[in-house]
Amino acid sequence: MTATVIVGIDGSQPSKRAVAYAIGLAEAQEVNLVVAHVIPWSPYSFNTPSENEERAEKKKQEIAAASAQIVDPAVEAAAESACDVTPVVRHGDPVDTLLELARDFAATAIIVGRTGDSRVKRALFGTIPGHLVHESTIPVTVVP
């Protein structure tokens, strides 16, 4: 069975490098890629009534925008290599959702780009790669 690797992307430069790294890996080792973008969303946020009313439509728009601008270019780049690529766009907590995807696809590794968060944000909340490294039960590669 061919192994599957999750590539978490957000459209930043490091995440583009993460895609390039994953493609290289896929070509060398014949692995399948799941190119995933997680739209940050919490079920516990507070909304106005009109925000709630428009939410279902907004979700569709957000997924369409994320697919067109972030995931599709990465999938196209990966498609030139021989590997099988699955695009995924989901709402949720980025760390939790990437770990869930890894479980769902029985992935053997996760690849993400390094995020360029500010010192304050890092101190307060940590970084997504940092949390992934701490919580994942499979190897995580952070591409600078």
Partner 1 sequence: MATVMATVMATEPLFDRILNKITEIVFYPINIGGVDILPIVVWLVVAATFFTFYLGFLNIRGFAHAINLVRGRYSKPEDAGEVSHFQALATAVSGTVGLGNIAGVAVAITLGGPGATFWMILAGFLGMSAKLAECTMGVKYRKHHADGSVSGGPMYYLRDGLAALGLAGLGKVLAAAFAVFCIFGSLGGGNMFQANQATAQILAVTDNEGNTTLTWIIGIVFALAVGLVIIGGIKSIARVTEKVVPFMAALYLLACLVVILTNIGQVPGAFGDIVSGAFSPEGITGGVVGVLIVGFQRAAFSNEAGIGSASIAHSAVKTSEPSTEGHVALLEPFIDTIVICTMTALTIVISGVWKDGAGVEGVALTSSAFETVVPWFPNVLAIAVILFAFSTMISWSYYGMKATGYLFGDNPAAENAYKVIFCIFTVLGSVTALDAVLGFSDAAIFLMSVPNVIGLYILARVLKEELTQYRAKIASGEIQRVK
List of residues contacting partner 1 (CB under 8 A): 39, 41, 43-57, 59-60, 62-63, 90-92, 97, 100
Least distance to partner 1 from the beta carbon of 47, Å? Answer: 5
CA distance 31 to 107: 10
Nearer to partner 1, 28 or 46 (CB): 46
- Strands of 4-8's sheet in order across: 85-92, 32-40, 4-8, 109-113, 140-143
Nearer to partner 1, 15 or 97 (CB): 97
Least distance to partner 1 from the beta carbon of 57, Å? Answer: 3
CA distance 83 to 29: 9
Least distance to partner 1 from the beta carbon of 61, Å? Answer: 9
Distance of CA 78 to the CA centre of its chain: 15
